Structure 1
Amino acid sequence: MPSANEVQLANPVFEIDQPEEFSQFLLTNPREIAFYLQLLAKQRSIVTVYLDDGRHFFLSSIVAVDLSENLILLDPSHTEESNLAALAASRITLVATLDRVKMQVRLSNLKKLTYQGQNTLSSNMPGLLLRLQRREFFRLEPPLSHPIQCKLATTKSDGSTQTFELTLSDISGGGVSLIAAVEQAANFPRDSLFQDCRLEIPGEGVIQVNLRVRKTIEISSRNGEHSLRVGCEFVNLSGTKLAFIERYITRIERERKARDTGLSD
C-alpha cells in the first residue's frame, strides 16, 4: 500500500505536454514564470509533485524562488522513499492552483539542498509554465481614477483609416467592454475584427491585442446620458499577454480588498 503522501494512479494527462491544444496558456518569459512561482511560494500553496510518468506523486510546497541562483526550492516529502524516488526521477511535473487557475511546470534533476537552514529539493528554474483557466473569466471594472484606454482603427470603404480611442468599462482574460457614443454603433457591427488594438493599462504598460465584436448594447447612466457598450473578445491572445492582463486584475483586486479591510497604506 502507498503511504499517505505517495500515491499510485493510472497515467495522468498533463496539458503542458499538449502545446498544440494549449499554446495560448503557455508562458516562456522568465519574468512571468518567476512571478507566478513566487506567488505560489508566498501563499504556501499546495503543489503536487508527479514523478516521471506521473503514476507516483506526493504533496509539497514551494519554499522559495531564488533568482540569483536560478533555482526553485521545494519542501521534501515526509517519507524518505518518496524523496529518493524524486531524486532519481528524470522528469518532475508540478501541478498547483492559484486563484482558481491550474498551473503546471516541468522540472528535472532534483537535488538535496539546505536553504536558509531548511532541507529542500532544488531544481533549475523551469523554462515553461502552463496557466489553464477553463472557467468563465472574472471581469474587473477598472478604477475610475485610472481608466484603461483602448486605441483601435478600421479601414473605411474609401480606403481611409478611422481611429477610435475608447474607455474600457470592464476587462477579463477573455475580452473587454468598450464605451462608445451611440451614434458610433455602425462602426462596430457584430463579428467585426479590429487588429493590433492598443490597451494602455495603468501601472503595467501597453499591449497590442486583436478584438472581435460580440455584441453591442445601448446603456444609460444615472444622469440619463446614453452610450454604447461594445463587448469584444480577444482573438489569438498569447499566454504572455493573458498573464499581463491577469496580473493587472489581480493587483487591482488586492488593492481594493486592502482598502475594504483597512489594510492599505
Structure 2
Amino acid sequence: MKEPDNEQYYKRGTLAVLGVLRDLEHDGMPIMVSHARGQFISRILSADKDLLVLDYGSNDYDNQVTLEVRSLTVTAEMKGAKVEFSLEQLHEAHFGGLPAFSTPLPSELLQIQRREYFRISAPLDPVFYCHASWPEGGKARLRLQDISLGGIGVLVEGEMPGNLASGATWHGMRLDMGEYGELQVDAQLLHVGARTTVSGKNETVSTPRLSFRFTSLGPVQERQLQQIIFSLERVAREKAMRFR
C-alpha cells in the first residue's frame, strides 16, 4: 500500500480514520475482505475509537478460514473514491445477537479519489441485458459488456439508428442482471464506437458499442451495484484459479 505517490492520500489518526469508516457504515456500503486464503463480501456494522465490527460473510467456511488468517486487506468504493486498509487479524464477536468479526481500529487507511471507476466485465453466460428506448422511439435490447459504479458499456444487437448523439440522456434504462436483480437508471451517452472481434471463420466482426455514464444513481442503487460488482469479481477470480 505504501507507495510514495500515494502518501498524500493516507488518513492517519483516530478521528480521520473514523470519519471514513463511519461514512461506509452509514451508507451501508459493501466491502471486500481479502486474505491469502480467499475473500468475501462484508459491511461495517460499527466503528468507534477502540473497535471495528464487520459483518459475517454468507459462507460459513469462509468465515472460519478468515478467523485463522493473519494479515487482511479491506477495500471499498464510496462516492467515486477507493478506500483500502489493512488489518492484522479478525476475532469472533457478536453484534445485535448475530455472529460478527471484531478488530482494533486501523491506524491508517488509503482514500484515493478515482478519475475512473473500476470496471468489471459482464458474464457471457448468463448474458446480462440493458432494456431501453431509442431516442427517436422504439425498444432497444442491448447486451451489457461491462459495468462500474460510474456507468456501463453495451453492445448493440440488431439494427442501430444512425443518428445517435453523444451527450443525450437516456431515461428509464433497465439493467437485467439475472440472479443479481434489476436496476432502473438514467444515463448519458458518452461515446458511440465499435468492438471488433475475429470469428471462428477468421472473419472480422464489428459490433456497435455504446458507453454510458450514470446521471442519477441513488445510495440504495449504488450499494446494490457495488455488491454485484464485488460478486462478479469474486466469481471471475475463482474461475481464473480453477484454470491455472
Aligned to 1:62: 53
Structure 2 residue matching 1:225: 3-state secondary structure: strand
TM-superposition CA deviations, 1:234-259 (whole Å, max 9, x none): 11101211221221121121112122
- Give structure 2 stretches of 5+ with no counterpart: 1-11, 35-39, 57-72, 85-93, 104-110
1:246 aligns with 2:223: no
Q: TM-score, normalised by structure 2?
A: 0.58
Instruction: Encode CA deviations 1:49-94: one digit per residue, 9 max, x unaligned.
Output: 55xxxxxx45x332656xxxxxxxxxxxxxxxxxxxxxxxxxxxxx
Describe the superposition over 1:9-47 as per-residue Cα deviations: whole angstroms up to 9, x where unpaired.
7888947999xxxxxx9966xxxx3x837969x789999
Partner of 1:262: 242
Measured in 2, the distance between the counterparts of 1:137 and 1:207 equals 18
Deviations 1:181-214, CA, capped at 9 Å, x for gaps: 6962535310011101100012111110011100
In structure 2, C-alpha distance between the alignment counterparts of 1:48 and 1:255, rounded to whole Å: 28
The count of aligned residue pairs is: 185
* 1:88-237 equivalences in 2 (<5 Å): 98-99=75-76, 101-102=82-83, 134-135=113-114, 136-156=116-136, 161-180=137-156, 184=160, 186-223=162-199, 224-237=204-217
User: Is 1:211–1:235's contact at 8 Å kept on the other side of the alignment?
Assistant: yes
Cα deviation for residue 155 of structure 1 reads 4.9
Q: Is the 8 A contact 1:192 1:213 kept in 2?
A: yes
Cα contact 1:182–1:218 (8 A) shared by 2: no
Distance 1:221 1:38 in 2: 33
Cα distance, 1:256–1:238 mapped onto 2, change above 3 Å: same
> 1:151, CA displacement in angstroms?
0.6
Consecutive unaligned residues of structure 1, counting only runs of 5 or more, are 1-6, 19-24, 51-56, 66-95, 104-112, 122-131
Partner-residue secondary structure (3-state), 1:195:
strand
Identity, in percent, stands at 15
Contact 1:179 / 1:230 at 8 angstroms: preserved in 2?
yes
| One-letter identity of the residue aligned with 1:192 | A
Query: How much does 1:261 deviate?
Result: 2.2
Matched, 1:36 2:30: yes
In 2, distance between residues paired with 1:164 and 1:231? 15
- RMSD over equivalenced CA pairs, Å: 4.6
Query: Which of the two has higher C-alpha Rg?
Result: 1
Aligned residues of 2:132 and 2:173 also touching (Cα < 8 A): yes
Task: Please report the TM-score for the alignment, with normalisation by the length of structure 1.
Answer: 0.54
